[in-house]
Structure 1
């Protein structure tokens, strides 16, 4: 079968790109001809919209019009050369094909599950409410025509039901993890807590950094990088100073404002004072790491913290579990929360630095608990294999 995978190209490589590339490989291994069809998702024009949009109107609501332009681009795309197509990120599901599967990991989040949050933190565009209404209407129309929507988690399936009122054509597919993880032959230890992932809003590594300031006797690691890394380092430097001086900065300010680069004059002044005082930090930033380095970090971690808000799946958690590491996730963590049996393979906590710090403390002070939870976590990870994922996909392709 000749299969086209339709993929918006955001010029970055994250967890979803890893999943899609693996999916392509697995389909080829069982004999299918698979072609990736990339579409530039950084395009800021309105050339595909069949009516004129003035620059003045565009810049009043750029995210909305960029989405609408992409929507029309996919709607007009000719994919008839393929026997089946798999759409991926929104709005690639607007393509039209009789054998169309949507590998669905998230909506355009600012118009859906993050809609209220972007309003709260001041990231919204003008006419946000109207934009939300229009986007949801056209998405629902397209998704209702898709033969099968394969949601990347139960969390995502629930969102599709909540926002698009669709369930009859929706099934759940859980992606596997890199099988090389199970061939790791290095030493497994329980040395320090880590957080892994891109530094983007609202992954909330800021909550981990703040939690570590409540545990000055421990050292933690931030593994990875992203568009907000510089701000995260500023936050770490600031919190190292304020925690020493007994100055409290609330969690909401840290992850809802500072994580988006919003440092008030008061805090900028404190940052300058912190630089002069050269406050030492108990958080190490590794920067971007290779797969081999990532495996090493997992192997040495006492636990892995997954603090993201409304995560779509939870690949990081499953990878950590494969290394027999307890996972700490937040109750509003979406896909992460699905994976955690509280007190069994990790802890499911309130989304606060205090709750995260308490969970880290419990694991760090009790190695037997860490090992017991880690063993349970490993058993959880074995459920998420590529063979299971491909079997589910092939079932819907045929």
Structure 2
């Protein structure tokens, strides 16, 4: 069978790209001919929109018009040479084909599950609600024509039902993890709590930083970087000083305001004082690490903290569990939350720094508990193999 995987190309190589490449390799291994059809997703234009858009209109809501432009581009693609097509990130599911499988991990999030949050923190663009209405309508029409939607988690399946009123053509697909991680058999120790991932809103590494100030005798590690790394470092400096002075800054301010570069004059004054005092933080920033270094971070972690808001899947948590590490996630963590059995393979806590700190302290003060929960976490991770994942893909293709 000839299969086309339609992939927006964002010029990055992240977790989703790893998943797509693995699916291609596995499908080829069992005899299919597979092409990844890349579409440049970095182009900024309105060339594919079949009605005029002025420069002024475009500049007022660039993200919306780029989405509409790509929507039309995908809808007009000729994919007739393929027996089956698999769409990936939005809005690639706008493609037209009689045998269309949508590998679905998220909507245009700012117009769906993050909409209220971005309005609250002031990140919304002009005419946000109208743009949201249009995108939800055209998405629902396109997704209703898809043969099978493979939702990447129960969280995503619930979102599709909630926002697009679709359930009959929606199944679950849990991606496997890197086989090198899955088969790791090196040494494991229980040292520092860590956070792994990109520093973007609303991943909430800021909550981890604030939690660490409540367990001053423990050193935490932040693995990775992103667009908010500079602000995250400032937040760490500021909170280190604030903790020393017994000053309280609310969680809401830290992760909803400071994380997006919004520091009041009062907070900037505290930051300036903190920079003068050179207080040592109990949080280490590693920056970007290699695959081998990441394995070492996982292997030496006390636990892995996943504080993100409404995550789509939770691959980091499964990776952590495969290293026999308990995972701490928040009750509003989306895909992370559905992986945690509270008190068994990790802790599921309220989304605040105090609750995170309490969970971290429980494990730091009781290494045997961390090890036992790590064993349970390892058993959970065994469910998420590529063998199981590809069984779902293969069964869907031959339907």
SS in 2 for 1:101: strand
Match of 1:298 in 2: 298
Could you list the per-position Cα deviations for residues 139-159 of structure 1 after superposition, in whole angstroms to 9, with x for gaps in the alignment? 000000000000000100000
**Structure 2: distance between partners of 1:183 and 1:45:** 45
Match of 2:208 in 1: 208
Could you list the per-position Cα deviations for residues 227-246 of structure 1 after superposition, in whole angstroms to 9, with x for gaps in the alignment? 11111111111111111111
The answer to whether structure 1 residue 381 and structure 2 residue 381 are counterparts is yes
**Structure 1: distance between partners of 2:343 and 2:235:** 30
Q: Which structure 2 residues correspond to residues 121-140 of structure 1 after superposition, within 5 A?
A: 121-140=121-140
Q: Which structure 2 residues correspond to residues 58-97 of structure 1 after superposition, within 5 A?
A: 58-97=58-97
Match of 1:362 in 2: 362
**Structure 2: distance between partners of 1:4 and 1:267:** 52
**Structure 2: distance between partners of 1:313 and 1:284:** 26
Could you list the per-position Cα deviations for residues 253-307 of structure 1 after superposition, in whole angstroms to 9, with x for gaps in the alignment? 1111111111122212221111111121010111111111111001000100000
Match of 1:116 in 2: 116
1:47, distance to aligned residue in structure 2 (A): 0.6
SS in 1 for 2:85: strand
**Structure 2: distance between partners of 1:278 and 1:135:** 48
1:184, distance to aligned residue in structure 2 (A): 2.4
Match of 1:11 in 2: 11
**Structure 1: distance between partners of 2:391 and 2:255:** 40
1:187, distance to aligned residue in structure 2 (A): 1.4
The answer to whether structure 1 residue 394 and structure 2 residue 394 are counterparts is yes
Q: Which structure 2 residues correspond to residues 160-179 of structure 1 after superposition, within 5 A?
A: 160-179=160-179
**Structure 2: distance between partners of 1:228 and 1:24:** 33
Q: Structure 1 segments of 4 or more deviating over 6 A? A: none
1:205, distance to aligned residue in structure 2 (A): 0.6
**Structure 2: distance between partners of 1:356 and 1:17:** 31
**Structure 2: distance between partners of 1:126 and 1:181:** 44
Could you list the per-position Cα deviations for residues 204-252 of structure 1 after superposition, in whole angstroms to 9, with x for gaps in the alignment? 0110011001111010100111111111111111111111111111111
1:96, distance to aligned residue in structure 2 (A): 0.4
Q: Which structure 2 residues correspond to residues 250-265 of structure 1 after superposition, within 5 A?
A: 250-265=250-265
Q: Which consecutive residues of structure 1, in runs of 5 or more, have no partner in the other structure?
A: none
1:179, distance to aligned residue in structure 2 (A): 1.5
Match of 1:315 in 2: 315
Match of 1:42 in 2: 42
Q: Which structure 2 residues correspond to residues 241-280 of structure 1 after superposition, within 5 A?
A: 241-280=241-280
SS in 2 for 1:335: coil
The answer to whether structure 1 residue 157 and structure 2 residue 160 are counterparts is no
Could you list the per-position Cα deviations for residues 115-147 of structure 1 after superposition, in whole angstroms to 9, with x for gaps in the alignment? 000000000011111111110000000000000
1:12, distance to aligned residue in structure 2 (A): 2.2
SS in 2 for 1:240: helix
Distance 1:90 1:182, change over 3 A: closer
Return 152-161 or 285-294, whichever deviates more: 285-294
Aligned length: 398
Match of 2:372 in 1: 372
SS in 2 for 1:8: strand
Match of 2:342 in 1: 342
Match of 2:288 in 1: 288
1:108, distance to aligned residue in structure 2 (A): 0.3
1:38, distance to aligned residue in structure 2 (A): 1.3
1:40, distance to aligned residue in structure 2 (A): 1.6
1:8, distance to aligned residue in structure 2 (A): 1.0
**Structure 1: distance between partners of 2:172 and 2:183:** 28
Q: TM-score, normalised by structure 2?
A: 0.98
SS in 1 for 2:5: strand
